[in-house]
Amino acid sequence: MRVSTSQVFRNGVESIQRSQQDLSRTQLQLGSGKRILSPSDDPSGAVKSLQLTSAVGKLEQYERNALSVTQRLRASETVVSSVVDGLQRVRELVVQGNNGSQTNETRAMIAGEIAQVREELLQLANSQDANGEYLFAGLRSWEQPFIDEENGVRYAGDDGQRAVQISAVRTVPVGDSGQRVFMEIPNGEGEEQSLFETYARIIEALESPTTDAESRADLNDAMGQALGDLDQALGRLLETRTSLGARMNTVETQSRVNEDQLLQVKTALSEVQDLDYAEAISRFNLQQTALQAAQQTFVQVQRLSLFNFL
């Protein structure tokens, strides 16, 4: 079989090019740390890698959601706890104000302190999270929910509650409606009354002078009614705080599950796409040797020409 000089030259060049391509591919793998540089390297592995990468993205999003939900629920719980503290102080002041030893002047001072608690309540009810969203506005979280007007406090939010996904099958409600937490609280007369209104009635009763037995009896009745209304409001607040705590526990539990799943998926993804550096370095050295051999052989074969012997 005759082999022309051009064919020898072409075979040598192709051998060098193949060796260069193999070496370049291994070099890219070492630089990127990835075994699969293109889908053609491993079609089934590339598909699996895409699926696992998508799963990692979803789990990481669930983790971000869980962190955001936890921060918002914790902020809401802190607010409710502060409102409870204020309510319990008002309850103490109601008992103190109903004491027969109090004068009109001292009761007015007690009413002034309760007015301050009411102002603090308004500020707490309008609390915002780190993103500037109102905690107790329902779905209208970018609008101030509680407005203090001449006739009392008006709720400008809604009854909606946003649900945030923290896993593929679980969501957690956030953004409690201030209507239920602070406004629609049953009183002793079987009607609904806001905590703001309860405080306002207490203040009004304490500021009204007692000059005779009848006015004294009216004050006793008002304070007795106030204690009942405060207990109803306290029950609603404790119920809300319990709900917030239960939701935080749910998020914490799911977050641990997400972390375990994320670790498993990342491990599987690493096994599919990450490079075995020891094997790749060994292959790189072999390919480098092969390229050098191909180049040297090509040079030697080029010299084997009849013209060199003329």
Which residue range forms the structural domain that includes residue 74?
54-269
Single pTM value for the model: 0.75
Are 230 and 181 part of one and the same domain?
yes
**pLDDT exceeds 80 at position 304:** no
What pLDDT does residue 283 have? 59
**How many structural domains are present in the chain?**
2
Are 76 and 219 part of one and the same domain?
yes
User: Who's near 86: CB < 8 A, 6+ residues apart?
Assistant: 117, 120, 121, 124
What pLDDT does residue 295 have? 59
Helix boundaries (H) for the chain = 5-32, 43-97, 104-125, 178, 195-207, 213-273, 277-303
Give the tens place of pLDDT for each residue, 86-106: 999 999 999 999 888 888 999
Are 216 and 71 part of one and the same domain?
yes
Token pair 């060098």: residue = 16
**pLDDT exceeds 70 at position 18:** no
Q: What is the CATH number of the domain that holds 261?
A: 1.20.1330.10
Nearest one of 205, 194, 201 to 97, comparing CA atoms: 205
210 vs 274 pLDDT, higher one? 210
- Average pLDDT in the chain: 83
Domain presence at residue 14: no
CB 199 within 8 A of CB 121: yes
Nearest one of 38, 31, 42, 46 to 269, comparing CA atoms: 46
Domain presence at residue 34: no
**pLDDT exceeds 80 at position 1:** no
203 vs 23 pLDDT, higher one? 203
Are 102 and 244 part of one and the same domain?
yes
Are 282 and 261 part of one and the same domain?
no
